[in-house]
Structure 1
Amino acid sequence: MAQNLSFFASSILLVAAMTSFIHGCHALSSDYYAKLCPHVESVVTAVVKKAMTNDRTVPAALLRMNFHDCFIRGCDGSVLLNSTKNNTAEKDGPPNISLHAFYVIDLAKEALEDICPGVVSCADVLALAAREAVTLSGGPTWVVPLGRKDGRISRASDTRQLPAPTFNFTQLKLSFARRRLSTADLVALSGGHTLGFSHCSSFQNRIHSFNGSHDVDPSLNPSFAVSLRQSCPAHNKVRSAGATMDSTTTTFDNAYFKLLLQGKSLFSSDQALLTHPGSKQLVEKFAGSPEAFGKAFAKSMIRMSSIPGTGVEVRRDCRVVR
């Protein structure tokens, strides 16, 4: 991990200038809380670090949570809201049922409410927590533009907008373009799959009844396909069954790209990155250079976590509209 940190440490220098964005009607700025709540980042760091010591799945969960928040209605913390008797919220939509570690955001928010009541938005806490999840796992660091407001709308039906693990390259590119994210962002952010675990349902299409000619996706490494079929039989009923996203599942590195080139990726959407010349070139670049991946990932995370939202408030409780 120390080696990874040295590879990625310079990322903060390259993205330090990218600290001012327009987020809805609010300007995002790296020093937004400098006077309002100067200890915000250290508080979030401490909470995430403690959670990681008790649960090694926390980093992957927080990173995925941030992505799923920003891709629905911009980065407004709407994924954190609980369902009510009159509304099923995003977190209970089909793609989000496996999201977890919401308690980490709750703990960070509670700590901030003690020292800066009503000041720090839940959306900002999530953006900072996602950064810490990556950095504390050996990945790059970056300056997080702050000043997001929390949204009041959260609908499970809107989770259909999330890019699916079965998407082809055209579908992926369109989904990212709608958020003003480039192909370079698509490839770099896909590298977030270096952390975590996937349930069988997300890659079942590649290992059983792939098409009329092949039961298994022929782009999969044969031995890797065998191992996936053993973990996820055709009529699997074990809800917890699945596979790790790469060989270093708790360390943020470029192993995902190396394995992708070997036919050892889980999702159709991963394999899709090799079907377009431009994205394949980036995969090869990142597989060969952890430094290049770290710098690109940091830049793309700033862009992704700055997608304008429709937030209007600062929630005291991240699970409930104020």
Structure 2
Amino acid sequence: MGLLFFLALLFGASCAQLTENFYDQTCPRLPNIVRQEVKRAIETDIRAGAKLIRFHFHDCFVQGCDGSVLLEDAPGIDSELNGQGNLGIQGLEIVDAIKAAVESECPGVVSCADVLALAAKQSVDVQGGPSWRVLFGRRDSRTANRTGADELPSPFETLEPLKKKFEAVGLDSTDLVALSGAHTFGRSRCMFFSGRFSNFNGTGQPDPTLDPAYRQELERGCTDGETRVNFDPTTPDTFDKNYYTNLQANRGLLTSDQVLFSTPGADTIEIVNRLGSREGTFFRQFRVSMIKMGNIRPLTGNQGEIRRNCRRVNELGGEAGHDVM
């Protein structure tokens, strides 16, 4: 009873409408279908998992977890993909493949927002990270929010703006540090961190929180701004706690990574040390924070729709998917 009460407090009233068994009757093989497609994608593109979890993150931070990030430009739709925070985001074709496989077996049943939530979980699990029980029942928005996508957390931001953006969606400092741990895999383009190499913030000097040997390694690897570099220089394709040991060694790739550990007096320093102390500690907190993030303002019940094609809204008056509960 105590655990159930804790979970109710943690996830809020909206989560009561999301359930683990939402698709048990209408699409019972959903987890297996998505896992198979995620594994297939990672086999051909090692960055696929990181791409999928980024889509889920960017979806939930803009008007809630509603699949709006996937909508392309159309009459009445100014795509979030055009927003400053989504420039260069990749993997839409991977989402398409997963959705197509789901539609083949369970047509008109599973929302794109739920596909993103489950694909993010499977991506982490397949690459050595923790597993968790995804709650389902999100529905897809018929609108996008380009302005919101312009205000997504930035790789150039210092700690206080990052904390404010997380607080605005109900996430605290622990969630910020735990979810940033997803940068234990994936790549970043050099344009997002090369400003740390010299004349950092107009000082005429490199970023003092960037390890000099690591800086030289990055400079050699960055032939231009489009070059991609591993987030984690130690185990780049494995989901583990090395993100935090990298921060402790001043080897965080982005400004927004390193400020979690290098901002004097910050409450995030202790959290970095705690999550970096044992892999199990990081994994447990990552599970909690991912579930919490996945329940930011979902559309449920009769809100929104079940999109057949994640890139565009259903045609009114046509087959729009059906309710499952």
Structures share fold, TM-score greater than 0.5: yes
Matching residue of 1:272: 259
> Which of 232, 241, 256 is equivalent to 1:254?
241
Task: Name whichever of 126-135 and 241-250 sits farther off.
Answer: 241-250
Q: 2:231 aligns with which of 221, 245, 269?
A: 245
Greater relative CO (CA pairs within 8 A, separation 6+):
1
Q: What is the identity, as a one-letter code, of the residue corresponding to 1:279?
A: T
Is residue 127–residue 237 contact of structure 2 (8 Å, CA) maintained in 1? yes
Letter of the structure 1 residue corresponding to residue 308 of structure 2: R
**2:112 alignment partner AA:** C
Q: Return closer, same or farther for 1:219/1:163 CA change in 2, 3 Å cut-off.
A: same
The letter for the 2-side match of 1:261 is Q
CA deviation vs aligned residue, 1:71-121 (integer Å, no higher than 9, x gap): 011000111111126643112323213222222221222222222211110
Query: Is residue 2:312 matched to residue 1:320?
Result: yes
What are the superposed Cα offsets for residues 157-212 of structure 1, whole Å, 9 maximum, x if unpaired?
32122011111111111111101001110010010010111111211221132134
- Structure 2 residue aligned with 1:171, among 146, 161, 186? 161
- Aligned partner (choices 190, 195, 198) of residue 208 of structure 1: 198
For 1:21 and 1:119, the matched residues in 2 are separated by 24
Name which of structure 1's ranges 32-41 and 138-147 shifts more when overlaid on structure 2: 32-41
Provide the C-alpha distance between the structure 1 equivalents of 2:48 and 2:304, rounded to a whole number of angstroms: 28
1:309 aligned onto 2:298:
yes
Gaps of 5+ in 2: 315-325
1:82 matched to 2:72? The reply is yes
Contact 2:191–2:225 under 8 Å retained in 1: no
Corresponding residue for residue 96 of structure 1? 86
Aligned pairs for 1:115-194 within 5 A: 115-194=105-184
Contact 1:118 1:316 in 2 (8 A): yes
Q: Which amino acid aligns with 1:257?
A: Y
Question: 1:109 is paired with a residue of what secondary structure?
Answer: helix
Distance 1:24 1:79 in 2: 20
Contact 1:26 1:148 in 2 (8 A): no
Instruction: Name the CA distance, whole Å, in 2 between partners of 1:118 and 1:86.
Output: 23
**Structure 1: which 4+ aligned runs deviate by more than 3 Å?**
17-26, 85-88, 211-214
Shift of the alpha carbon at 1:24? 5.7
Matched with 1:7 is none
Q: Distance in 1 between matches of 2:276 and 2:73?
A: 41
**Equivalent position amino acid for 1:312 in 2:** G
Per-residue CA deviation, residues 125-174 of structure 1 (Å, 9 max, x unaligned), is 01000000000000000000100000111243321220111111111111
Shift of 1:293: 0.3
Identity, in percent, stands at 38
Alignment CA distance shift 1:212-1:314 (3 Å): closer
Alpha carbons of structure 1 residues 82 and 24: separation in structure 2 relative to 1, 3 Å: farther
User: Which amino acid in the other structure matches residue 165 of structure 1?
Assistant: P
The answer to whether 1:106 aligns with 2:96 is yes
Aligned partners of 2:254, 2:172: CA distance in 1, in Å? 20
Query: Which range moved further: 79-88 or 300-309?
Result: 79-88
Q: CA RMSD in A?
A: 2.2
Q: Is the alpha carbon distance of 1:22 and 1:213 closer, same or farther for their aligned partners in structure 2, counting shifts above 3 Å?
A: closer
Once the two structures are superposed, residues 237-293 of structure 1 have per-residue CA deviations (whole angstroms, 9 ceiling, x without a partner) of x35314210121210001110011101111111121122442111111122211100
> Which amino acid in 2 is paired with 1:148?
R
The TM-score with structure 1 as length reference comes to 0.88
Q: Does 2:274 align with 1:285? A: yes
Residue 18 of structure 1: how far off its partner (Å): 4.9
User: Deviation string for 1:283-322 (max 9, x for gaps)?
Assistant: 1112221110000001100000110134510001111101
The secondary structure found in structure 1 opposite 2:62 is helix
